[in-house]
Amino acid sequence: MVIKNKNGTEYKVKQPNPIMKEQEVWSDFTLHNMEFDKDLVANEQNAPKLQKPKLKLGIEKTLKKEKEIPLPTPEVQIEENDDFVIPDFNKEENAPDPTPVPKDDVLRPSKINQKLLQYKKDVMYCMLAETKENFDPLYSEKTVKINYVRTFTFENIILEQNDIQLIFWSHLDFLTKNSIVYPRDENHRWWKINSIRNAPDGRFFVCVPTSIQPSFKG
């Protein structure tokens, strides 16, 4: 009975590749280095260990250990010097001198008018200003040069203080305009003396805020 495909054609078995007809078949060959012991492969732990042959190069000689010759110790002569004293490091060092307490350099008035005792007494730092004005007649211009020449601390009485103005009384008659003052209070603000007026036993000083913030340390 003939086997047919689905389309009714006769089914043919696939034939070998025609190239195989011209292929050479090796019928006589020899295997080299292919023999091995199957038991040795199965049990690798019992496999014999191969020992490498020892190489001998030349003639073996035993070296004799030479005797160590001690080196001579140099003689060091120590010269005695009575001026040199070895310090005693176990002795405690002298305690440093205590920090000196600065003297009270606050300038205070010898007397105060009774009318001013009702106001707040305060201490101020001051950087004294020296103001020089120059006038140029050619251009009709006036220039002002300010030099700060001295710093000190003084006692005063604050009559009025707000965000834009500070008025205080002081017995000092050498305070000048443009000097910088800093009250030692909780406000932490710098002021510049803007105008000066006469007052009983002293003067009134009117100050305005300033951006100059010097250091009064030292």
Answer yes or no: pTM beyond 0.85. Answer: no
**189 bridge partner residues:** none
Q: What pLDDT band is residue 187 in, cutting at 50, 70 and 90?
A: confident
Helix (H, G, I), strand (E, B) or coil at 81: coil
Helix locations, the chain, DSSP H: 38-42
Q: What pLDDT band is residue 108 in, cutting at 50, 70 and 90?
A: very high
| Contact status, residue 191 vs residue 174, Cβ threshold 8 Å | no
pLDDT at position 170 is: 94
| Contact status, residue 178 vs residue 192, Cβ threshold 8 Å | yes
186/33 Cα distance (integer angstroms)? 105
Q: State how far the alpha carbon of 193 is from the alpha carbons of 136, 210, 216, in Å.
A: 26, 9, 17
The percent of residues in the chain predicted with pLDDT above 70, rounded, is 67
CA 85 to chain centre: 43
pLDDT at position 100 is: 43
| Contact status, residue 105 vs residue 218, Cβ threshold 8 Å | no
112/138 Cα distance (integer angstroms)? 49
pLDDT tens-digit series, residues 145-178: 999 999 999 999 999 999 999 999 999 999 999 9
Return the H-helix or E-strand segment holding 194: strand 191-199
Q: What pLDDT band is residue 203 in, cutting at 50, 70 and 90?
A: very high
pLDDT at position 95 is: 58
The domain spans of the chain are: 114-209
pLDDT tens-digit series, residues 30-86: 777 666 655 555 555 655 666 666 656 555 666 666 677 776 665 655 555 555 555
Q: Is the CATH number 2.40.10 carried by domain 114-209?
A: yes
169/114 Cα distance (integer angstroms)? 13
